[in-house]
Structure 1
Amino acid sequence: MEPVFRTLELAAEAATRVTGTRISYHGLHHLPAQGGAVVAINHTGYIDFLPAALAAKNRGRRMRFMIKAEMERVRVVGYLIRHTGTIPVDRRAGAGAYAVAVQSLRAGELVGVYPEATISRSFELKEFKTGAARMAIEAGVPIVPVIVWGAHRIWTKDHPRALRTRRIPITVVVGEPIAPDGPVAELSATLREAMGALLDRAQAGYPRPAGAHWVPARLGGGAPTLEEARRLDEAELAERARRRAEGGRTT
């Protein structure tokens, strides 16, 4: 796990230097220097995990991520999953991944999760799944809320990748740890409220050109509203279901 992880860290740092990407970190001291914690990250694009992982590195830690199991089919990604301690999640039967995550937390590791489960097309916080809260309670570890803002400009849903675009600023804001207390629903609501406040903070100091596709609608951007994004998500799920049904038919 360590050699591959270290190679990835070096590659990520090199990529940020080559492209002139500027990552600013706020509240890194809230990431525990030792011991387990659920690190809850907002999900606006395909590379949110990189700034979050580098934040942990700057704190002297490494983070295990939970990732959808179908990514194992991609040869390179599958190799990385097997050699970096990444936890693949089958969203139709996630009990095994959940158990592995809880075990890792109890062993003192940081486990990165996306409470929204899927990318937010509106770049606002979607409704949260309760997995992060349940894991924290079962493992007896805090939840650390983290907002990554700006990485969605590089690669997100429905838009071309901008991997060669230079000098895109990225902001990472780490909030105070939340104790694993109370009912799951209440803890999940507390987490969402905390991440909402951090998101507002990250957006307040960030450029917001009118009409830009990566700027939320409520801030004058061209991104879908939460309701529009919900309809797009539903259409995407319906199309996937149709393809599965067609693939399962026999003649």
Structure 2
Amino acid sequence: MTELTYSAIIAAAKLGFRALGQSITMSGLENLPRRGGALVALNHVSYVDFIYGGLPVVRIGRRPRFMAKRELFDHRITGPIMRACRHIEVDRADGESSLAVALDYLRRGEIVGIFPEATISRAMEIKQLKTGAARIAHAAGVPLVPVVVWGTQRMMTKDHPRDFSRGKAITITLGPPVPLTGEARPDTAALKAALSELLDGAIRSYPQHLPGAWWVPASHGGSAPTLEESVRLDAAERAARRAGHRPT
């Protein structure tokens, strides 16, 4: 029943892509293993990244299991879906337990998706990464595949209204597995470098690039916050959350 539910969701998503008239381009599929475990590490610019970031795995006939925040599992609508698809609940207060679950999935030959930035990048660039991706990939002995999604931020991201108008281009780029040494910090730095290089290429080749746009990084001529500014905005958001309200 679980895989039937997953298949139905994939079919519905594909209908949605067609209804939105989206042009979805994927490259680097040869970097995904056809069998055995793998950890795909994705950049994070949108609330819908996991939908598009999972498409390469689906394209090769497999099913990704994403690590996702606990709130999605607690929600009355998304919760049953997340559990039916066997995604992995991440409790920010107990992150190590979710890493253990991911490790078990990988050792059993699953493909697991992770967002090592942990939260959406307001800068639209690669933020500081958590070390969990490098640690569990090395512990499981599986490839760590960097994946960059671009264009999804135009639909649904932080600080901007939703826009599901037709015709948006989405690009998904996979790089070769990141060599791992077992040293968490150097391996995480290598992953960040790989993601940054993929992202730079995705932005430069994006068919609907618009200089000055809010969804383009400042480093590429856009008006998105810089990485330094985004750090301050993220801190303000966390402070507002602790105070019990959202920032205006």
- CA positional deviation for 1:186: 1.0
Q: 1 CA distance for matches of 2:160 and 2:30?
A: 34
Preserved CA contact (<8 Å) 1:141 1:179: no
Letter in 1 for 2:149: V
Instruction: Say yes or no: does 1:161 pair with 2:162.
Output: yes
Q: Within 5 A, what are the aligned runs for 1:62-141?
A: 62-141=63-142
Q: Please, which moves more after superposition, 11-20 or 208-217?
A: 208-217
Preserved CA contact (<8 Å) 2:135 2:182: no
Preserved CA contact (<8 Å) 1:64 1:109: yes
- Spell out, residue by residue over 1:178-199, the C-alpha distance to the aligned partner (whole angstroms, 9 max, x if none): 2432311111111111111111
**Alignment-derived partner of residue 244 in structure 2:** 243
**TM-score scaled by structure 1?**
0.94
**TM-score scaled by structure 2?**
0.95
Q: Within 5 A, what are the aligned runs for 1:9-88?
A: 9-88=10-89
Instruction: Say yes or no: does 1:198 pair with 2:198.
Output: yes
Any stretches of 5+ residues in structure 2 without a counterpart?
none
- Spell out, residue by residue over 1:106-162, the C-alpha distance to the aligned partner (whole angstroms, 9 max, x if none): 000010000100000010000000000110111111100000000111110111111
CA RMSD after TM alignment: 1.1
Query: Matched residue of 2:68: which SS?
Result: strand
**Alignment-derived partner of residue 174 in structure 1:** 174
Preserved CA contact (<8 Å) 1:52 1:172: yes
Identity %: 47
Letter in 1 for 2:196: G
- CA positional deviation for 1:209: 1.6
- Spell out, residue by residue over 1:4-38, the C-alpha distance to the aligned partner (whole angstroms, 9 max, x if none): 11011101111111111111001111111111011
Q: Please, which moves more after superposition, 232-241 or 65-74?
A: 65-74
Q: How many pairs are equivalent?
A: 243
Any stretches of 5+ residues in structure 1 without a counterpart?
245-251
- CA positional deviation for 1:68: 0.5
Letter in 2 for 1:91: R
**Alignment-derived partner of residue 186 in structure 2:** 186
Letter in 2 for 1:188: T
- CA positional deviation for 1:221: 1.2
Which contiguous aligned blocks of 4+ residues in structure 1 show a shift greater than 4 angstroms?
none
Letter in 2 for 1:181: T
Query: Matched residue of 1:39: which SS?
Result: strand
Q: 1 CA distance for matches of 2:193 and 2:238?
A: 27
